[in-house]
Structure 1
């Protein structure tokens, strides 16, 4: 029987994406395609450390990988600095993602990575990320930033959500990071396809860090309340 870690790693390494979905100014961000040996090793080390069992977890869904977090490490809301905090060495380069900072503040308040990951699996509505080219630069692009793109992508996203529900092993509720467009999209999709009885929405970590930084302790308390349901 495969461990949860083996199943998660197989899921990520098996991800495929039809680039026909992409508009001309968009690119897909696949952290598992062409990953360096150190990225592959640290990804495996993380999941083997925290998921080397078959215990069911509660699922948390973010939006899609950003360049500095999962786009660099393959692990949602875990930049290279937070990876090291989990005891996983990573020396190739260093990334700092504000969303990762907040998530790990909440994780540490919950009792630390070992306790948290024993109860939760963090995934993404779309486990692959996107970038858009603007003025010669590539910047993060969310699946919902263009309505036509999100609509075309909906069947693919539904398949990824169902796959991650199966990986997590629990489905009484899904915690959603994002109370705006991410929640709106998921609510509509769930209304049509009924993949979970309840969506529990929390303000996105990036929103907290960018707009509510001085109030983040209150948001951490809100996260802890949701984690304890």
Structure 2
């Protein structure tokens, strides 16, 4: 029987970059690299080799130092090794979002416990860049509208991996605007709860990170009820 892992692996390793973006917007597609294809297969086979529905936790689009390198949402090479037990020879990369997310993963009980209930993903699955820096799909209207069909298809395809439609967790207050727009159009989820984006927390709220961490954990547990 085809399970969550099988569907996710096939999806990610077949991703192609869009060709309709404004000329100054770049796209990183690590899934073309054999080493990333191997890591994606190992990650999903380890943590998603079943048909249990997951609660979706949706970011914006990957950063160039997280999934833009490893192919695993919010996961740098070093966190893939340290917290997921998946060895790799990719160089360590700086990524604030990944650092906070794996504090959440550890506080929840570790990777096996966390990924057994949640699926980390993004509205658009590939990292975007502009002038060599991270770029968000909503940073300009032309990019948003160019990617909207792909965003819709991303979520539509991924919920077929196996999802708990009762609730989705949105990462980022501005991201919420677009997830709610999508959900109003497609009715994928019964409700949406929103948390401040991990990058925002570590960039602007470092003195109160424990407060945000506690709020994340309590929100995730509430979603399971």
TM-score range, shorter chain: over 0.9
SS at match of 1:172: strand
Deviation string 1:32-53 (CA, Å, 9 cap, x unpaired) is 12x1x43322221111111111
Matches within 5 A, 1:98-117: 98-117=96-115
Q: Is the 8 A contact 1:131 1:139 kept in 2?
A: yes
Cα 1:92–1:171 change in 2 (3 A) is same
With over 3 angstroms needed to count, the CA separation of the structure-2 counterparts of 1:52 and 1:193, relative to structure 1, is closer
| TM-aligned CA deviation for residue 142 of structure 1 | 0.7
Counterpart of 1:178 in structure 2 is 172
Corresponding residue number in structure 1 for 2:63? 66
Task: Please give the per-residue CA displacement for 1:62-82, whole angstroms capped at 9, x wherever unaligned.
Answer: 111111100000000110111
Q: Give 1:16 deviation, angstroms.
A: 2.6
Report if the CA contact (8 A) 1:57-1:168 is conserved.
yes
CA apart distance, 1:23: 0.9
Aligned pairs, how many?
221
RMSD: 1.3
Q: Distance in 1 between matches of 2:35 and 2:183?
A: 37
CA positional deviation for 1:164: 1.5
* Among candidates 39, 44, 52, match of residue 49 of structure 2: 52
Matched, 1:10 2:10: yes
> Counterpart in 2 of 1:96?
94
Distance 2:149 2:35 in 1: 33
* Structure 1: distance between partners of 2:172 and 2:160: 22
- TM value normalised by structure 2: 0.94
Report the equivalent of 1:206.
199
Q: What are the ranges of 5 or more consecutive residues in structure 1 without an aligned counterpart?
A: none
The answer as to 2:18 corresponding to 1:24 is no
Runs of 5+ in structure 2 lacking a partner? none
Moved over 3 A (4+): none
